Structure 1
Amino acid sequence: MAGVVLAEAEVRADLDLSPRLTLRLPEGAVRTWSPADPHLYGLSVQILDAAGVVVDEVRSYAGLRSVSIDGNRLLLNGLPVFQRPVLDQGYWPQSLMTAPSDRALAHDIELGIAAGFNGAPAHCSIIRTCLAIATRSSPMRSRSRTASIPSIAP
């Protein structure tokens, strides 16, 4: 449900150099991310001053998932996943190796899904955009960086 607050928590940030916060979702609200259901939770993190006034805020998103190896099997959320990736080099006539728009990059991902692939080692020149689109589109994508393609660290 968009806009519904599922959980809130607080931690003091002035007592420790690396404060930790545990955010517990209600049992019925837990929805794991998977290629079949790429659910993402919206997040808002605020820093308040002593008077309770917001001095900084960041908004992002996160998916809940576990990834592990069992022998020679990849497990996603405890279930085996057979990887069927395609090497996506990305080519667009009007811009060569860089997608001309987020929509063009999303379309490239959608074509791979339609062809039956569930992942792609992608060479992205704009890593954050690539990961955001791929995460919302559902195939499992790994990112790689090469010296010939500049990238922004996530």
Structure 2
Amino acid sequence: MLYSHTAIPTTAVFTASTIAVPITASTIAVPVTGSTIVIPITASTIVVPITAATIAVPITASTIAIPITASTIAVSITAATITVPITASTITVPITAATIAVPITASTITIPITVATIAVPITAALPTAKDLGQSQLTKCCPIPATHQSMDH
């Protein structure tokens, strides 16, 4: 298939002056020079001058630590200060037969025991065997009336 191309009529004529405002170097940008872009930077403005004195307080052997000597590390320790002298007398109280036990004799071991202290005296006032037997029979096995009448 063949295509035909015809010119499209335009109503306005475009020229370089009508398309855009005339652009020149002065309208594009504010004039830029080395002085307007950057504040002049020198070694003095970037960094405060640093010297050995400003970095640290001067450090000497005396400022790092209190001088340490054998006397300041520990109290002088001698054989006398480590342990109280220990002798046979300080370790144990002398122990003899007298200090181990209170003397024990036959009288201190037991209270004398006699027949009177072992038992309460028993008298005839206690119930008799006949009384005990009768009460146990009536409690456990009641006797029928016919048998009771026969006993009496």
TM-score normalised by L of structure 2? 0.10
Between the two structures, name the one with larger relative contact order (CA 8 Å, sep ≥ 6): 1
Of structures 1 and 2, the larger Rg is shown by: 2
Which protein has the bigger strand share?
1
